[in-house]
Amino acid sequence: MALVALVASTGCGVMFQAAGGFIEKQQREVTRTREVRLSGVPEGAVVQRRDELGTHPLLDPRRDPVTYRVRETLEVPRSRTPLYVGIAVDLALTTAAAVAAVANDENDEVRLPLGYTAFYAGMWTAADIIAALTYARTQEPKVVATEPLEDAQVSYVVRLGDEVRTATLAAVWQDEAVFDFQTAPDARAPGEARLAAVPPVPPRRFTLSASAPRPPPPERWYGWQLIPMDVLAIAGIIAGFTQDKSELLVGGMALYALGPPAAHLAHGRYAQAGGSLGLRVVAPITAMGVGALGGLVLSPILTCRDDVGGWCTLGSVVVGGAVLSGIVALMVPVLDASALAWAPDDREEEPAQVDL
């Protein structure tokens, strides 16, 4: 129903922006710092860190800041140009329909459809302006996924007299090293330094996808498969209506309602198929009811000739419903192809394994 409301309440601005996307995903490489806590270090012990740069004594034996590189995936607002172009189209349509309706004041068959077109286009213009004011607010980029670029493996050596304890960890995932000086070390030969590995030792191999969020899989657009079906369907409906050929009208309506949902099903997008079918059936019918109600309300404003009598109100209701239903029916394929016709890339990547 949210998509139905979107189609029925917004104009070209939001539709153009939705086709181009409100946000885009970008990636950047940044340096992060994690504070590693060193637990169990006795007083007087000497603590050193070993990494790819060598061995370094720690000024603070209880904590150590470790830096590592990550790739961040961000959601960044797209350019608002499509929204503004759509608002200009809304304004042009509203103005042209209103001027044409006034110019054909004596011809009700022309004036009523043009009057309703101007009215609905004016409402959509107002809705798009509200959307533009809302979307124009400053939006900060949002980090949605993080992927480490390196293991950031560090080792710590703690010496207390001739007792030595070591610990190795990956700072990307771990933030604490625990040293146990209460447990006696293993038997050693005379003169050999007492060396004990700190339990628990990090696993030899682990899966990145199970340990940290990864960027969402790439998506591919298959809306180009929906567009030809919609073009043929709308052409068939128009031809059947203007030439009074029921087979073209029924065939066009069937292709319009069932063709694109079938394409979604072929790609395994069951939710999108249901949404597409709901949009194509419910949205025009809902728009017809809303347009008929609008025609009933506006019939006193869009006055007819005096000799028409009660038929004026009925004609206003019919024309109002037909105009709004037709406009929404033309907008639904744009929304379907731009917003729903996306599927994850079929290529599956093996989970990356990291040796520690």
The Cα-based distances of 233 to 7, 46, 224 in angstroms read 19, 79, 15
By the 8 A CB rule, do 37 and 177 touch?
Answer: yes
C-alpha closest to that of 175 among 320, 340, 310, 63: 63
By the 8 A CB rule, do 179 and 40 touch?
Answer: yes
pLDDT at 265: 92
Question: For 286-332, how does the pLDDT look when each residue is reduced to its tens digit (9 = 90+)?
Answer: 888 887 777 777 666 655 555 455 556 666 777 777 888 888 888 88
Question: For 13-67, how does the pLDDT look when each residue is reduced to its tens digit (9 = 90+)?
Answer: 887 787 777 888 888 888 888 888 888 888 888 888 887 777 888 888 888 888 8
Q: Take residue 103 and report the two structure tokens written for it.
A: 């110019």
Packing angle of the helix pair 108-135, 2-9 (nearest 10 deg):
120
Q: Which residues contact 247 (CB under 8 A, 6 or more apart)?
A: 240
The DSSP secondary structure of 316-355, one letter per residue, reads HHHHHHHHHHHHHHHHHHHHIIIII-EEE-S--PPPPEEE
Question: For 320-350, how does the pLDDT look when each residue is reduced to its tens digit (9 = 90+)?
Answer: 778 888 888 888 888 888 888 888 876 555 4
What gap in Å lies between CA 141 and CA 25, rounded to an integer?
A: 9
φ, ψ of residue 314 to 5 degrees: the values are -60, -45
What domains sit in the chain, N to C, each tagged with a CATH number? 30-73+151-216 (2.60.40), 217-345 (no CATH)
